[in-house]
């Protein structure tokens, strides 16, 4: 019997799948809780990023149900968190099996630009005067970081480098040292970036350089980039 026929849940849409696959590399978790046969998706962001969380949930609510709540997070000194909690759903079983053995090529090979976009918006930052990119893969094992580096090279032709997050921690991050390759990556994901996260793709700290970049991606993004956006992003703190 095919999935979607009587007695079987309809499969996830490709968009919902991409949002889930991307956020599980970043700020999401997928677990089977005691007493439940099916996994539940949980995504956490700071309350200041609630609009971004709502954008993610917009892909998921119709298919997975659930809700967004705000909570006090004891692990982060009482900061408020916006949390999306899905219903426990058999639709999540296939992804649960896919990710259960950690970050592997089998998982990464299923990512499309929307999934890459979500991963970047969760854990990516522009650094070095906003001319280079870093993915904070601190939760990855050294082997998983190497798998991700090879994936980007083989699938997307992007030469990410591996460097320690901090010396002595055993944690590593992926860096794009080339501004041209950073541009290529940002152009790949730009059509999927929501307006509330536009700062994540605004290259350069110098306003004149940023203005030229804004003109370069104007035909890719779904929102306008104003002079005020360009100035505000210049004031934001660099780094992950």
Q: How many domains does the chain have?
A: 2
- Which range of residues forms the domain containing residue 150? 121-235
Do residues 92 and 41 make contact, with C-beta atoms less than 8 angstroms apart?
Answer: yes
- The reported pLDDT for the residue numbered 239 is 53
Q: Are residues 147 and 226 in the same domain?
A: yes
Q: Are residues 86 and 143 in the same domain?
A: no
- The reported pLDDT for the residue numbered 234 is 58
- What percentage of the chain has pLDDT greater than the value 70? 92
Q: Are residues 207 and 140 in the same domain?
A: yes
Which pLDDT band holds residue 200 (cuts at 50, 70, 90)?
A: very high
Rg (CA), the chain: 18
Q: Are residues 82 and 125 in the same domain?
A: no
Which pLDDT band holds residue 1 (cuts at 50, 70, 90)?
A: very low
- What percentage of the chain has pLDDT greater than the value 90? 77
pLDDT digits (tens, 9 = 90+) for 10-55: 889 999 999 999 999 999 999 988 878 899 999 999 999 999 999 9
Do residues 92 and 39 make contact, with C-beta atoms less than 8 angstroms apart?
Answer: yes
Q: Are residues 82 and 20 in the same domain?
A: yes
For residue 78, pLDDT over 80 is answered with no
- Residue 105: how many other CB atoms lie within 10 Å: 13
- The reported pLDDT for the residue numbered 169 is 80
Say if 110 falls within a structural domain.
no
Which pLDDT band holds residue 240 (cuts at 50, 70, 90)?
A: low
Query: What is the CATH number for 77?
Result: 3.10.28
- The reported pLDDT for the residue numbered 6 is 59
Q: Are residues 92 and 138 in the same domain?
A: no
Q: Please, what is the average pLDDT of the chain? A: 90
Q: Which two tokens stand for residue 132?
A: 């280079």
Single out the residue of 137, 120, 202, 218 nearest to residue 171, CA to CA: 137
What b-and-e string marks burial along 79-98, b requiring 16 or more CB atoms within 10 Å of the CB?
eebbbbbbbbbebbeebbee
For residue 230, pLDDT over 90 is answered with no
Q: Which of 67-81, 94-108, 120-134, 168-182 bottoms out in mean pLDDT, i.e. has the lowest?
A: 67-81
Q: Which among 100, 129, 149 is the end of a domain? A: 100
Q: Please state at what angle helix 207-217 crosses helix 227-235, rounded to 10 degrees.
A: 130
- The reported pLDDT for the residue numbered 236 is 60
Q: Are residues 126 and 96 in the same domain?
A: no
Task: Give the DSSP letter string of 12-68.
Answer: PPHHHHHHHHHHHTTTEEEEPPTT-SS-EEEEEEEGGGHHHHHHHHHHHHHHH--EE
- The reported pLDDT for the residue numbered 5 is 53
């Amino acid at each position: 019997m095919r999935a979607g026929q009587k007695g079987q849940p309809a499969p996830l849409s490709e968009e919902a799948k991409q949002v889930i696959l991307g956020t599980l590399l970043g700020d999401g978790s997928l677990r089977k809780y005691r007493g439940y046969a099916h996994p539940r998706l949980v995504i956490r962001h700071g309350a200041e990023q609630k609009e971004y969380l709502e954008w993610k949930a917009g892909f998921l609510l119709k298919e997975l149900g659930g809700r967004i709540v705000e909570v006090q997070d004891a692990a982060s000194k009482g900061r408020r968190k916006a949390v999306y909690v899905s219903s426990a759903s058999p639709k999540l079983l296939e992804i649960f099996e896919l990710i259960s053995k950690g970050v592997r090529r089998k998982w990464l090979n299923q990512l499309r630009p929307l999934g890459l976009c979500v991963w970047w918006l969760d854990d990516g930052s522009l650094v070095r005067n906003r001319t280079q990119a870093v993915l904070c893969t601190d939760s990855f094992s050294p082997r998983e970081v190497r798998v991700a580096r090879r994936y980007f090279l083989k699938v997307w032709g992007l030469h990410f480098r591996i460097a320690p997050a901090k010396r002595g921690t055993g944690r590593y991050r992926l860096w794009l040292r080339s501004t041209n390759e950073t541009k290529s990556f940002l152009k790949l994901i730009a059509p999927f970036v929501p307006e509330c996260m536009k700062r994540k793709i605004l290259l350069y700290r110098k306003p004149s350089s940023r203005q030229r970049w804004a003109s370069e991606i104007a035909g890719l993004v779904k929102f306008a980039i104003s002079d005020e956006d360009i100035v505000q992003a210049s004031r934001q703190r660099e780094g992950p």
